[in-house]
Amino acid sequence: MNVLPNLFEEFIDIENLKFYAKKIDENRYLGFAYDELKILDSIKNANLNINQIRNIHFGQIELEYFKDDQNSFFIIEDQIFGYIDDILVKIPSSINIENPTKIELDKIELSKDTIAINSSSKYIDNKTAYTISIIFILLALLNFGKYIANISVIDKTPIQIEKIKTDSKMLSTSLQTKSVIKRFKKLYKKQIKLRELLEYILLYKQHNKATLYSIDYKNNKFIFKFKDISTKKIKRYIKKKYKIDSISQKDNIVTIGLSI
């Protein structure tokens, strides 16, 4: 195949041509030079879909079966062909050929001598097409490798989650976790209310220059003890916002019980 271009370039311009060789016998070959773009244009002009064409055959090879010594001319779809010096040629319509053999193409048993047409040859040559194909294959292999790696990570994730739960002494089920979160939310809201109550009482102490003797918190209940204050005045202040559980006075100490 490497010597074919050199054989043809003496007779024709071989630029943009491709080549094919068929071995006839031990030391004889039949060489072809063809223009892939012209073949593509012919297929397009015939309103054929290049994707539906698997192989391209050479008439020189396929029609040789019909050549004989008595008649080397035959007609195919109103066009006459013939072998002249063993070369297949198309006979001009102006030449009268008597009784050419009629051949039906769909009944020809085709050989295995074919060429493949690159439908993108108008834009890139075969070498470039092969290079691009290799790049796409490498990218596909890379993506496949990443896919395998991701699958491995995904498979290990549940095990890693369980290890983290064990090492951190976390709860084993999401139901238990939700229950704990709910309990802490409830406790948080209660603590906010207790801080608001405590702030409200301390504001009274601050604005009225009262003496807070002691604060106790027991059984969800605050016990405030004030010294030297008016029982009626503080009772009226607290009732604006909270319900008083108990209030008492002994000597100069006023004891108030409040709960949320």
pLDDT digits 0-9 by tens, 97-126: 888 888 887 778 888 888 887 765 544 555
Q: No. of H helices and E strands in the chain?
A: 6, 12
- Rounded to whole angstroms, how far apart are CA atoms 120 and 14? 20
Contact 153, 146 (CB under 8 A): no
Query: What CA–CA distances, in Å, run from 104 to 59, 84, 107?
Result: 13, 21, 6
Instruction: Judge whether residue 246 has pLDDT over 80.
Output: yes
Q: What is the pLDDT of residue 87?
A: 83
Instruction: Judge whether residue 184 has pLDDT over 70.
Output: yes
- Rounded to whole angstroms, how far apart are CA atoms 155 and 128? 40
Residue 220: band (very low, low, confident or very high) from pLDDT cuts 50, 70, 90: confident
Q: What is the pLDDT of residue 154?
A: 67
- Rounded to whole angstroms, how far apart are CA atoms 28 and 21? 10
Enter the pTM of the model. 0.42
Q: What is the pLDDT of residue 126?
A: 57
Q: Which residues contact 105 (CB under 8 A, 6 or more apart)?
A: 76, 77
Instruction: Judge whether residue 132 has pLDDT over 60.
Output: yes
Q: What is the pLDDT of residue 42?
A: 86
pLDDT tens, 11-43? 888 888 888 888 888 888 888 888 888 888 888
Q: Give buried/exposed letters for 115-134 (b at 16+ CB in 10 A, else e).
A: eebbeebeeeeeeeeeeeee
How distant is the alpha carbon of residue 75 from its chain centre? 55
249: nearest Cα among 239, 236, 235:
235
Tokens of 249: 């006075």
Q: Domain residue spans in the chain?
A: 1-57, 64-107, 188-259
254: nearest Cα among 236, 144, 242, 240:
236
62: nearest Cα among 79, 45, 91, 83:
83
Q: What is the pLDDT of residue 170?
A: 61
- The region of weakest confidence among 57-61, 93-97, 153-157, 190-194 is 153-157
Q: What is the mean pLDDT of residues 231-256?
A: 87
- Highest mean pLDDT among 67-71, 100-104, 203-207, 243-247 belongs to 243-247
Q: What is the pLDDT of residue 13?
A: 85
Contact 63, 81 (CB under 8 A): yes
Percent of the chain with pLDDT over 70: 84
How high does pLDDT run on average in the chain?
80
Give CB contacts under 8 A, 24+ apart, made by 120-128.
121/36, 121/37, 121/40, 122/37, 122/40
Residue type present at position 76: I
CA quadruple 37, 43, 46, 52: dihedral, nearest 10: -160
pLDDT tens, 160-174? 666 666 666 665 566
